[in-house]
Amino acid sequence: MLKKFSGLVKTVLYGRQAPFSEKSIGLQGEEYLMRKIGDRDIKELIALERDVYFGETPWTKSAFLSEIHSPIPHLYICIVTKQAEIAGFIGSRLIGNDTHITNIAVGTAFQNRGIGQLLIDEVENFAIMNDCATLSLEVRLSNTDAQRLYRRLGFSARNIQKNYYTEDNEDALDMIKHLEVR
């Protein structure tokens, strides 16, 4: 409790945010770049959402804009191909001693190559650099594929949030990963 409080004080007082350096990545013989998301990417992110959520776009342009310009410490990054196409992205924000993953998606043409794991690993580094004790996320109860990946990466179920998704009232599984405290 005390630790959580001190984390919150640090966030509010100092707006802590560890720096992120873009990096190149090799995966299955293909080269990618991991970089921060900017305003110019939002149109493509919405198209990526449409691709993976069967035409739905859970996040609007204004939702993306308010997250990437939020005063709360955050990390919004994407992985792009050599042709500058966005293959996947992840968003996270830091509250107290927790880094919360707010959004993650990998285009259908790029799934099952390890991109999702790389994105989560990068957010985990961000969380550790910022002295977080946990990493958390919500996932649809029916999204068992994503849950399998999260469990493999060390997340476990914490509780169920009833009617979490307003579009169809589906419940969310709240998942958490405890991080090594440095």
Ligand X SMILES: CC(C)(COP(=O)(O)OP(=O)(O)OC[C@H]1O[C@@H](n2cnc3c(N)ncnc32)[C@H](O)[C@@H]1OP(=O)(O)O)[C@@H](O)C(=O)NCCC(=O)NCCS
Point out which residues bind ligand X (CB under 6 A): 28, 52, 88, 104-106, 111-117, 137, 139, 143, 145-146, 148-149, 152
Q: Which is nearer to ligand X, 11 or 110 (CB)?
A: 110
Residue 6 in tokens: 């001190």
Q: Name the nearest CA neighbour of 77 among 110, 112, 109, 116.
A: 116
CB closest to ligand X, residue no: 116
Q: Which is nearer to ligand X, 34 or 139 (CB)?
A: 139
Q: Residue 167: phi, psi to the nearest 5?
A: -60, -40
CB of 79 to ligand X, least distance (A): 9
CB of 15 to ligand X, least distance (A): 27
Q: Secondary structure of the chain: what % helix, strand, coil (to 5)?
A: 35, 35, 30
Q: Which is nearer to ligand X, 11 or 135 (CB)?
A: 135
CB of 2 to ligand X, least distance (A): 31
Q: Which is nearer to ligand X, 126 or 150 (CB)?
A: 150
Q: Which residue type sits at 59?
A: W
Q: Which is nearer to ligand X, 20 or 164 (CB)?
A: 164
CB of 22 to ligand X, least distance (A): 19
Q: Name the nearest CA neighbour of 167 among 83, 59, 67.
A: 59
Tell me how far the alpha carbon of residue 75 is from its chain's centroid.
Answer: 8
Tell how strand 134-140 and strand 156-165 pair up: unpaired
CB of 113 to ligand X, least distance (A): 5
